[in-house]
Amino acid sequence: MKTLENYRSNPWSFLNDDFFNILSGFVQPLTATRNERSEFPRCDVEETDKAFLMSFDLPGVKKENINIEVKDGVMTLTGERKSETKKDGYSERFYGNFQRSFSIPVHVDSEKIEARYENGVLQVALPKSEVKTGKKIEIGHGEKANGIFSKLISHKKNEERIA
């Protein structure tokens, strides 16, 4: 739980926890931990009239070491950044496997998602699908119910006759 002291020590810490909650309907990260490994690669998200555009900085990562999968409303980016050389000493660069998962809005057409990779930047376009309008539901009455209710009612009557 965040306290006032947390915000005093880092007034921008609300961006880490709450920023994406403010942007309802936007692509939201699902990564729960707050370590360097979970925050690599960093991501920018932009919304246009036709799509959500995501950009990932992946310097030093080869295209063949990147995988994007969409399943059950979640887009997961996995990959590996391999060390160029074996050096002893201090390094702040991240090497190894990484994974980022994002909840994608229901109005994204997951069949039309596209990605391209150039100069260490992965761009993913998540096109929006047409917004479907609601459907008026007719209310049946008693034995005049249609569809599934008529089947359920006849099934129930058959069970009563057998018993």
Q: Domains of the chain by range and CATH?
A: 4-127 (2.60.40.790)
- Name residues whose C-beta falls within 8 Å of residue 99's C-beta, 6 or more positions apart in sequence: 76, 77, 78
Please provide the average confidence, as pLDDT, over all residues in the chain. 75
Q: What is the pLDDT of residues 7-65, one digit of tens each?
A: 455 555 444 444 444 444 556 565 544 444 445 788 999 999 999 999 999 988 999 99
Backbone angles phi, psi at 18, to 5 degrees: -115, -10
Question: DSSP label at 3?
Answer: -
The b/e string for 108-129 (b: 16+ C-beta within 10 A; e otherwise) is beeeebeeebeeeebebebbbe
Task: Quote the pLDDT of residue 32.
Answer: 41
Q: Which of 15, 100, 1, 87 is nearest to 57 (CA)?
A: 100
88: three-class secondary structure by DSSP = coil
Q: What is the pLDDT of residues 90-105, one digit of tens each?
A: 777 777 889 999 998 8
* E strand spans, the chain: 28-29, 43-47, 51-57, 66-71, 74-81, 96-103, 114-118, 121-127
Task: Quote the pLDDT of residue 20.
Answer: 45
> Rounded CA gap, 149 and 79, in Å?
50
